[in-house]
Amino acid sequence: MNGFYSENLIIAKLEQKCDLKRDAVYDHQYKLDFIVDRFKNIDKLIHIGVQVTTNPNDPAKQREFVRERKKKTLVDRSLYVKVAPGVDIDHWGAELIYNAIVSFSFQEDLKQKYVLGVMINPDVTYEFFELEDADDPVAKEKNGFLHGTIAKYVKEKGFGFIEAEGGRWFFHINDVEDENLKDNFLPNAEVEPETKKVIRPIYVDFQDGGRTRPEAVANSAHNVRLSRKN
C-alpha cells in the first residue's frame, strides 16, 4: 500500500470521529498532512497538527517536520505519526492513530509537549517518542558514538556516506579507525556500479565531526569502526 493511498485511507477513517482540515499548503509549506480541530464525541477545540508517514526510516522528513514545527506555524501542538510496515490501517491501524491523537491531546503527562512522535506498531500498540532537534538530530550514546550503516561507497576515491537516525554523514577512508573495516569490508563491499550504493549495508559506529567546510553537503564522520551492536 503506497503512502498516498494510506494517507487518504487514514484521513477517511479519522473523519468519522474527528473534524479535520486539510490543504495542500499544509503539507508543502508547513509539513502537516492535516489539522484535527475537534473530536466529535468531545466538545472541546484542540487544533492538533499531524504528519503521517508510512516510511518510519525517513530521517530527512522527520528533520523537516521538526524544523518547521519549532516555528509553531498554524498550530501550537503537532504530532509526527510513524506507521510501521505490517500495520493494517483499514481494520485497526487508523483506530490506533486516533487513540494516539486523543492521548497526545489530553493525557496529563503529554499535555505540555508541543511536538512529539508516535510509532504505530504491527502488534496493535503505539508508543510515543521524543523528536530530536533538527539541528542536533541524533542523541549521542555515553561514549560519544553514533550508530548507522555505510550505504554508499566510492572505492576508487575512498569516500562514502553513512546513514543514521537523523541524517547522513560523509566519511573518507582516513576517518576509518577499524583495520578490519578498512582492509577487508570496504575493499570487498558489493557496490552498484552507477549509484555506488552498498548492496549489503555495513553497520558501523562513528563520531560526529560536524561540518569541516562551509560548502560541505553533510557532517563528517570520524573514528568509523564496525558496529558493536550487530
Amino acid at 147: H
Looking at 66-75, 86-95, 165-174, 204-213, which range is the least confident one? 204-213
- Whether the per-residue pLDDT at 177 is higher than 70: the answer is yes
User: Cα(65)–Cα(51) distance, rounded to whole angstroms?
Assistant: 8
User: Tens digit of pLDDT for each residue in 16-74?
Assistant: 999 999 988 888 889 999 999 999 988 888 999 999 999 887 777 888 898 898 888 88
pLDDT of residue 56: 80
User: Tens digit of pLDDT for each residue in 106-129?
Assistant: 998 888 889 999 999 998 999 998
Any idea what the Cα angle at residue 31 is, between residues 26 and 35, rounded to 5°? Answer: 50
- Tell me the CA distances in angstroms from 47 to 32, 38, 98, 195, one per residue in order: 12, 7, 14, 43
Amino acid at 145: F
- Whether the per-residue pLDDT at 142 is higher than 50: the answer is no
Q: Residue 49: CB partners within 8 Å, gap ≥ 6?
A: 26, 30, 32, 34, 35, 69, 74, 75, 77, 78, 79
Q: How far is CA 76 from the centre of its chain?
A: 21
pLDDT-above-90 percentage for the chain: 54
C-alpha cell at 230: 550487530
> Helix (H, G, I), strand (E, B), or coil: what is residue 21?
strand
